[in-house]
Amino acid sequence: MKEHEGDLKAAGKRFAIVASRFNDFLVEHLERGAEGTLVKLGASSNDISLFHVPGAFEISPVAAWCSRSGKFDAVICLGAVIRGSTPHFDYVAGEAASGIAQVARDSPVPVIFGVLTTDTIDQAIERAGTKAGNKGAEAAMTAVQMSNLYEILRRELGKTP
């Protein structure tokens, strides 16, 4: 059996990070985690571009633009949506997830979902770099692995579908 898996080598690769400004006291930790991980895995800081959008709802159109630009090997989507006392959370979290998923399906490069969707601020804080690790760093690792797997797929199977 022939196995294929992307490695964690980011040298020579270019990454876009699309990050929400809403809940920026959390998202900035995700951004730092993603950037630090990419650099640790060999990417140059000059090969990482950060695009800020107002909220999680606005992430997917900018991610789509970045993914089709031909300038990036992967796009990392970061944000934080925290449940409140109204149904607004359900709409924003759901649309952010489905929008990013649609971009990922249509993209020639990996588009990674790193948007926190939590019930409480404490849960979000845990996922932004305390008890539960840094989900931005995890998203960056996934982006590197997937970008390398996409290279294998292109080599083995040809152009993107």
Please report, to the nearest 10 degrees, the dihedral formed by the alpha carbons of residues 131, 82, 59, 67 taken in order.
30
| Backbone φ and ψ of 75, nearest 5° | -125, 130
Q: At a CB cut-off of 8 Å and minimum separation 6, what does 50 contact? A: 17, 19, 31, 35
Which member of 4, 29, 52, 88 is catalytic? Answer: 88
Q: How far is CA 29 from CA 65, 119, 133, in A?
A: 24, 19, 11
Reply yes or no on whether 88 is catalytic. yes
Q: At a CB cut-off of 8 Å and minimum separation 6, what does 63 contact? A: 16, 18, 75, 77, 100, 103, 111
Query: What residues are paired with 159 via a beta bridge?
Result: none
Catalytic positions, written as ranges: 88
